[in-house]
Structure 1
Amino acid sequence: MAPKTSEQYGEIREQRRQQIMNTALQLFAANGFSNTSISQIAAKAKISKGLMYNYFTGKDDLLQAIFEQGFNEMFEMFDPNKDGVLTKEEFTYFIEETFKLMDDKRDFYKLYFALMMQPSVWKKFRFSMNDIVAPFLKLMEDYYTKRGVKDPGTEAIMVGALLDGIGFNFVYNPDLYPLEKVKKLVIERFV
């Protein structure tokens, strides 16, 4: 077997990192952040505890990486052409894809909502989350300004809170929540 190239090592390292993050996400969502140990994550990921520390400095670092990846994935759909201008079509696309992500990535949303309810944990990540969310809110505020909305900043914050509330209700009551109907109504009223 031929020796691996540095590119192959990089790919293997990224795959392992993603495996650890996926495993941690499952455990954090099922058991809670505080009730999940690095040892449990390592055991479920079938790696040594020591190897975990080659990828993450600890649970906080791991959780930060999970959040960054999850929110970056969501916000990549916002202003997809990256021109700094949100169009009605792009906003509609974002809403549609966000609702799809709520369904596809329930563990991520379950963890996100659970941590919001734990002030001691949420406080650690609030500032980095604000850095991730701020550009999204600014684009939305600019969108509402162009549409002549009286208070575009508050409108943008309200839409963000609305999406959080919809996600929360759907994640915890998926069989009782009419996601498609709600999505259509959000697009109709806020886009």
Structure 2
Amino acid sequence: MADKKEEIKSEIKRNLRYIAILIIVIIFIYFDISITKLLNFTDKKIIWTLDFGIYNILVSMFFSVVYYFYKGAKLHIKIDILNKKEDTNEITIGGNPEEIYMQLNVEGKYKKFSSKIEIYFPHWIDVQTKPKPYLSFDEDKNTYLIDLESLILNKENISLTESITFDVLKNSDEKNIDLIESKLKLGLFTKFFKVGLENKGIKIKSK
């Protein structure tokens, strides 16, 4: 489900970019701003076709350059929660503890964080991990909290990979299915201009 959402988001962004490029190209053509006329073409169909193609390429290149600098100015956070045995985003647990792990990658220019990464575990799962200075546990919510400010020591250009292993065990005989995901609360401005977040959870089943 999470992969499907990301796929739909990417498709929407891609289509919006195509629409924006098309609108800009049509504006140039509508106001008769022609490159092809400088090459002494006189046939209107040829002029229109070549202008459309040239402007399409130029505007696409412009968007790519802007997007490159836009991405370069952001801090990129990638979070994957995986089955430790198989490196997949699915796991089935029975009467014995199983291991999942969170892979955290942080790349780019430092941004200050007031919120923490939250990993919520459903009520039918008992979870444990080795203590770490940046890690805390909210027992009432069955949620682990990761303090990025404490984890990131280099406050300049960041290139960080951190892995946390969790032992998970079901505490119910019922057959349950849930999606364990991490969350990082970010304001709209921060999300759009400062931080890029890529987040994949793990589907967990009890047998």
TM-score, normalised with respect to structure 1: 0.28
More helix per residue: 1
More strand per residue: 2
Structure with greater contact order relative to length (CA < 8 Å, sep ≥ 6) = 2
Q: Which has the larger radius of gyration?
A: 2
